[in-house]
Amino acid sequence: MAMILIAEDEPTLAEMLGQHLKNKGFDVTIASDGTQMLLLAKEVKPNLIVADVMMPGTYGTSAYKMLQEDPATQGIPVLFLTAITPEQAAALIPEGPGVRVMHKPAEMKEFVAAVESMLHEV
């Protein structure tokens, strides 16, 4: 099954998302910030990253840009989950293939559908 890397600084939300995806049969690894997201992406080579935008250390958007500059992690699709406004998201999150944005709170059914859809696009 696909490996999903969740980068979320709110432990309860990270665990809830991870458990829900595990229940759907996905392998899941959790990072607590953008810096850990970078390290784990190189280590576990996920099929998809679910990333919060604003996290301590390195923002999810900054980590995404660094991943795209590294041949080892370039092209990993990212689903950004964020509580910022759509206007703020448009200013911070790069557009491009393999990038989607969902706003918190996200319905679990819609979240899983977005994950599955992004994995099929790869």
Q: What is the pLDDT of residues 97-122, one digit of tens each?
A: 899 999 888 889 999 999 999 998 86
The domain limits of the chain are 3-121
Query: Taking Cα atoms as reference points, which of 60, 50, 53 lies closest to residue 108?
Result: 50
- How far, in Å, are 91, 92 from residue 7 at the CA level? 20, 17
| Topology adopted by domain 3-121 | Rossmann fold (3.40.50)
- Tens of pLDDT, residue by residue over 17-74, are 999 999 999 999 999 998 999 999 999 999 999 999 888 877 788 888 899 999 999 9
Is residue 118 a contact partner of residue 100, using CB atoms and an 8 Å limit?
yes
The pTM score is 0.92
